[in-house]
Amino acid sequence: MRTYLGVIAGPFYLIVSVAQGVLREGFDFSRHPWSALANGPNGWIQTANLILTGLMVAGFAGSLDGWTRRLIGAYGVSLVGAGVLRADPVPGFPPGTTGATVSWHGMLHLAVGGIGFLCLVAACLVVGRRSAGGFRAFSYLTGVVFLAGFAGIASGSTALVVPFTVAVVLVWAWLSTLALRRVTREG
């Protein structure tokens, strides 16, 4: 049962985030990171999205072993932390926000998220090392692309929001594929 949590966590996160981005006034996919959706009147939806997705990922990690379990589990916990520690508003979102603000919870959101992202990159590399064929290449490629996307978004450049978003979609596809591979082996 835990393995199925890994299958649905990514699609759940992506659907909820994209739906909010489309429906929330002022949100611009080309300039605003999805964490910014935790701000404003309906920010609780993205907060719940991060927390629920993190719990699903942590639950899935329990079906894994060794370093893969630890690293993916740490990523799940970091998602919960990123949900609890709201990201700061960004210029233009919520509407009327003019300048970037820095708060203690925003800084901790970035720190917790950064640790989780690095754990997820490491998990991609560990799984790649233990895999063969196409999934090995997919794991390595995902780890490298996600690390590059994270480095880009960490620079603070709004021009790199779209490449980071592509990396996020890729890493969720990888995590769901990892879980599906386990489901087919178990079932």
pLDDT digits over 100-139, tens only?
778 999 999 999 999 999 999 999 999 999 999 999 999 9
pLDDT digits over 33-50, tens only?
999 999 999 999 999 999
Nearest to 134 by CA among 122, 144, 142, 123: 142
Answer whether residue 54 shows pLDDT above 70.
yes
Per-residue buried b or exposed e for 66-89, using 16+ beta carbons within 10 Å of the residue's own CB: ebbebbbbbbbbbbbbbbebbbbb
Distance CA 14, CA 29 (A): 13
pLDDT for residue 186: 67
pLDDT digits over 16-29, tens only?
999 999 999 999 99
pTM here is 0.94
Answer whether residue 181 shows pLDDT above 90.
yes
Distance CA 39, CA 1 (A): 33
Answer whether residue 154 shows pLDDT above 70.
yes
The CB density around residue 167, as the number of other CB atoms within 10 Å, is 23
Identify the structural domains of the chain with CATH numbers, from first to last: 2-186 (1.20.1070)
pLDDT digits over 58-114, tens only?
999 999 999 999 999 999 999 999 999 999 999 999 998 887 778 999 999 999 999
